[in-house]
Amino acid sequence: MKEEISVVIPTLNEEENLSYVLNNIPKCISEVIVVDGYSKDKTLEIAKKFNTKILYDKRGKGSALIKGLNAAKGDIVIMMDADCSHRTEELGLLIEGIKAGYDTCMGSRFIQGGGTADMPLLRKFGNKFFVFLVNLFWRMNYSDLCYGYRSFNRNAIKNLNLESKGFAIETEISIKAAKNKLKVLEVPSFEKKRKFGKGKLRTFRHGVEISRKIINELFRR
Ligand SMILES: Nc1nc2c(ncn2[C@@H]2O[C@H](COP(=O)(O)OP(=O)(O)OP(=O)(O)O)[C@@H](O)[C@H]2O)c(=O)[nH]1
Ligand SMILES: [Mg+2]
């Protein structure tokens, strides 16, 4: 049986980047869903030009991703950014991981073969600290956490009951994958610098958001 594959891309003012990403999506992808946070630039025009399915969400990156992941029709569902940080050449790794029987496949910048050109030192420390906490509390062996290049077996998504509206979404996925005993595979990924524009991640604000998510999940069943 040939699996259908969906790619979900959250966008907020990515007019300069999006066409590069969409141009490089391989033919084997059956559905591309752009979930836009009401961009004020030409992001939507570009998304329409490429015939993507367009959804709207004004509550944040996490909320947009949840909407896209739930709407995706593919057997395999991939989430990726619109800022050209994620290499489309690596899609095959994320796809094959699910085909091999894993529920979710997570790109990691910190295993052999991975790397990053888009992460200041402070964020590296923050990420390492959060990885340490999640591994300690949920007995996992993650090497990365706050990274949004991931794939799922669609059936595994429903059980996660995701709810993060903002930048804690990846942390929530990793914790809930552990809680639900999903079969998780990490694959190496190299994060490139965003091609144009400014990132929306704010180190301190979103660091606090991620800390709160970890604490909340710790005190939940
Ligand atoms: N729909 C929607 N998408 C968003 C929102 N914030 C960010 N995004 C998108 O989510 C993806 C990741 O956002 P970035 O701003 O690149 O965040 P990041 O990669 O963690 O941070 P940088 O390293 O600074 O780029 C991009 O495709 C953004 O356009 C939002 O509020 N709503
Ligand atoms: Mg980025």
Instruction: Give per-residue pLDDT as tens, 164-214.
Output: 999 999 999 999 999 999 999 999 999 999 999 999 889 999 999 999 999
- The residue behind tokens 């896209």 is 68
* Cα–Cα distance for residue pair 91/113, rounded to 1 Å: 15
Atom of ligand 1 nearest to the CA of 166: 31
The pLDDT tens digits of the residues spanning 120-144 come to 999 999 999 999 999 999 999 999 9
* Cα–Cα distance for residue pair 120/122, rounded to 1 Å: 6
Rg (CA), the chain: 16
The pLDDT tens digits of the residues spanning 39-60 come to 999 999 999 999 999 999 999 9
Instruction: Check pLDDT > 80 for residue 1.
Output: no
145 CB near ligand 1 (under 6 Å): no
- For residue 97, name the pLDDT band (cuts at 50, 70, 90): very high
Q: Tell whether pTM > 0.95.
A: yes
Which residue type sits at 204? F
Domains of the chain from N-terminus onward: 5-218 (3.90.550.10)
* Å from CA of 220 to ligand 2 middle: 30
* Å from CA of 199 to ligand 2 middle: 5
* Å from CA of 59 to ligand 1 middle: 12
171 CB near ligand 1 (under 6 Å): no
Q: What is the DSSP string of the chain?
A: -PPPEEEEEEESS-HHHHHHHHHT--TT--EEEEEE---SSSHHHHHHHTT-EEEE--S-HHHHHHHHHHH--SSEEEE--SSS-S-GGGHHHHHHHHHTT-SEEEEESSSTT-EESS--HHHHHHHHHHHHHHHHHHT---S--S---EEEEHHHHHTT-----STTHHHHHHHHHHHTT--EEEEE-EEPPPSSS-----HHHHHHHHHHHHHHHHT--
